[in-house]
Structure 1
Amino acid sequence: MTAYSMLALPGEIASFFLSKVGGSTLPPLLNALEAYYVVDLLLSETSQADVDAIVNIKSRYGITSNWQGDPCSPQDYVWDGLNCSYNGTAPIITSLDLSNNSLTGPVPDFLSQMLSLKVLNLTGNRLTGTIPVDLLIRSQSGLLLLSVSGNPELCASVSCNDNNNKKKHVVPVAVSVAALFVIIVAALAIWRWSLKRRKKQEVEAGEIMVAQTRRTSEALESRKLKRQFTYFEVLEITNNFGSVLGRGGFGTVYHGYLDDIEVAVKTLSPSSVQGYKEFQAEVKLLLRVHHKNLTSLVGYCEEANNMVLIYEYMANGNLKHHLSGDQPDILSWEGRLRVALEAAQGLEYLHNGCKPPIVHRDVKTTNILLDAKFQAKLSDFGLSRIFPNEDDSHVTTTIAGTPGYLDPEYNITTWLTEKRHVYSFGVVLLEIITSRPVIAKNDDADKIHLSNWVSSMLDMGDIKAIADPRLHGDFDVNSLWKVTELAMACVSETSSERPNMTQVVMELKECFATEMARTREGSSSPQSNNAINLMALNLHTEISPLAR
């Protein structure tokens, strides 16, 4: 039996009461309860033109993630893959990321209707045919940052559209052979002379068109979108480097705006230990790979001695900052598991989603960044290396990385393998569990690695003492055991004893699901044999947002 009301209940408290039916010896049983409340949205609805276009995209490709309700409103629950601007009377969509969604078929014309679109990412799909002319023109004029790499059967050139148009306008000419026999010799001669003249004109016109098409293609190739900015444009984006986000070995990172999109601008210091080779490596890699758990490269600048990388802005900084002891807002156990899972998914993509595979070589908590919604993304790919062949089990390299995260086996052999990542990620997991430094000094002023400290605590069987005390025991002990055992397996001294990143992702998914179920678990208690007092809802209490 299902009971429901189509009318809203007024007041701040709503109480429900069930009684058992006559002749029953047991109290009533409640299988489920759903409660909704009305929310007054302060923002206007998204521009109707943008809504129509994005709904067409959703229908065309069958996108089913969180694309429900209004695309841009409320502002905290914007659809995945969208960025919106709220400066006008109605929100508009300025950025659309449809990368790595297995999209097929041609690029739809209705994307051209989204005139407010500044960034369109279509990389890593299976799109075919040509790009709509309007999108190409906007891209060439700098009004649209268009990314279409990773679609081998998609032609990103105006010449493709020209060829298609020519095919559409070719009119087959059929000449009846039988009619030639009834034409007198004089008429035949005139006709043949006229035909030769017309063919000559067509050939000359065709040569002119081919030349024009070739010049257009060459111009497009020279202006091919590389997401490369001039140094003057970098100065505009950063307001003359007015706001510093941080400093590191690479150089200084500044806050900026590309149109109305927030970006982080990293400049290469002349004294940088990372250097020009690492700058080139990071640009080439990030222009090639795309994943929701890898930071996105918006663009770069390479002009004289000025080398700059422009990334998407990560509002919540790095994971190390949120695990430090002086951070007032403590990441919950569920939040930590989510960050660990998302970072692991980024690494797993580098290992198995890229052909050939990629090894990061500097996995650590400062290189795991968190966006405004605390989604984790790997960053800093300057030290990354690509395996030359898929069959290669390792490559020999000079040792690179951060002390404490380096695989001891790698230090001895200099063999770079995918399990090198796994060791570093195991150290990250131990940091997430304990919030302790990777290398610390004990009472005797000796340096001790975090994995050795955790191992000594496990020998005493005191698992709760390992966890960050600021969690105040708000976690499932079995979940803590499982993640700790996974982390210790990752930091095994012998690489053959470590799991691969696919196994790590699977284990973390199970732990995360268990913790989510625990934190969302409800409880009720019977008041008597005759009735159950079900619920009193305070409508001023913050609850999860409604599905959109």
Structure 2
Amino acid sequence: MEDRHRYLFFIFAIIHYVQAQQGFISLDCGLPSNEPPYIEPVTGLVFSSDADHIPSGISGRIQKNLEAVHIKPYLFLRYFPDGLRNCYTLDVLQNRRYMIKAVFVYGNYDGYNDYPSFDLYLGPNKWVRVDLEGKVNGSVEEIIHIPSSNSLQICLVKTGNSLPFISALELRLLRNDTYVVQDVSLKHLFRRYYRQSDRLIRYPDDVYDRVWSPFFLPEWTQITTSLDVNNSNNYEPPKAALTSAATPGDNGTRLTIIWTLDNPDEQIHLYVHFAELEPVGENTDEALRTLFTRTFYFVVNGKISYDESITPLDLAVSTVETVVNKCDGGNCSLQLVRSEASPGVRVPLVNAMEAFTAIKFPHSETNPDDVISIKVIQATYELSRVDWQGDPCLPQQFLWTGLNCSYMNMSTSPRIISLDLSSHKLTGKIVPDIQNLTQLQKLDLSNNKLTGGVPEFLANMKSLLFINLSNNNLVGSIPQALLDRKNLKLEFEGNPKLCATGPCNSSSGNKETTVIAPVAAAIAIFIAVLVLIIVFIKKRPSSIRALHPSRANLSLENKKRRITYSEILLMTNNFERVIGEGGFGVVYHGYLNDSEQVAVKVLSPSSSQGYKEFKAEVELLLRVHHINLVDMNNMVWWF
């Protein structure tokens, strides 16, 4: 009973923590799928296995002697020995701002002590190069990004001999009125609070689980407060990061912050958080209040970048946003300079600061309707292909096998125009979601085990030019609307219970049929052609033989031999001579070989009696014996 109570308490605790972390996704990558979610004791974050979000990869674990320096979510990892691109798929809110963190702790899990490098993608766009060389404690990549659909794909791409891996994947839903930039995402550069400390600040102190690192230079002076600091603005920086601040040392008038960039042309977005920690007090004389008020302005790379002077609020946060377009040589500086016009004696201060580089993702994702449709098709037919991960069409070097897409420009979503699932062991019916691929021009479902009928919706797919349904187990008749489609090539031979027209059953299904619907009127006429050799007449004279020498190799020596359409054209010299016409169609004169004259009767598509009656007549003739009729063993059928 006591164990049961503990279990129920644990379940209720998980529910409580999950409810408090709405908008959070915390995946312990490589955690076995049978392991339940758990509460990480340091942060209180609820982590769960990543197994339901990715179809590939193998679970690994860092070496035992390294586990003590890492929290639990970073002990396991998932590595990817198969395929070039392996992708997580996460359900998110479309057009909402997320902070995305990917954590990589190598921990010599493979025993090779060889730190890997690989690329990380968001959908079709490269996010960052992950290089673990020299990073013994691991690496964290972070970006603020707005998904363009309700499905976010994060992909690891192999670029060399080493295998990609990941330890944790964390998404945090942010307010949409923060970190507002146009047409770019924000790649994390640093996030600091200014205090002499060694403590990292994150959840639950930061409600968005942003990680703040302490930073302080020897030449600075630190001020702190034990009073409560109001952090209620859009950004909500943690109070723990606002209770300390850096000011210039030695009564200086400017505070200088310097950082470097690998790419000097990168655009920098700064979010600087201020709070006055030494309030003068409401009852202070106005003259003294003016004297002790801090007023300063921004100087970025030697230029004033913020037009208005800054006066921090007493024990309350204010946030200033500014953009740095370029740092010469990659060396950037921000100076907080006391205003010369200010009568105050107090020097500038800064409590915390965030810096990001702008990253533009040029490629639009594949049309979302196409993505949904192809994933339903993938799930329905259980297509577990390693290379069917990530965006179906982009990047083009990772185009899903069996697909072709149309590409106009980088800002236009690609469309799927060809789907080839031939010989994929597909079973069941033709999935209706195919019709949602509205730009599809070519569909190949041949050489599978599909059942059911040919769906009517195929006729309504206006872009389709080619359909191959050959060699399946489809039944019934082809929809007339599909046969009537102009400029559409349809192949369906090898479906014994599938007919071109009329009702079908197991005994009347076609045996070996290729239909091209409709290519030309003459071809259509001969779709249901049956060749009946009716009358033998005397052998032709040798003079006739000279006129048709190419027919000499046609004979009925092999009983019940099939004759091809091209051979029929040869027999009749392209249906040159009409010798009669009945209710079913026209009868043509021909030669089976250089001596045997035959009559070839062709079913007319406008026949009032139709295919079934014509077939019945042929079957009757097979049973009738007469000196003027060909023996049944010499009867020739052609489909």
Shorter-normalised TM-score: what interval? under 0.3
Structure ID, larger Rg = 2
TM-score by length of 2: 0.22
Q: Normalization by structure 1: what TM-score? A: 0.25
Q: Larger relative CO (CA 8 A, sep 6+): 1 or 2?
A: 1
| Higher helix residue share | 1
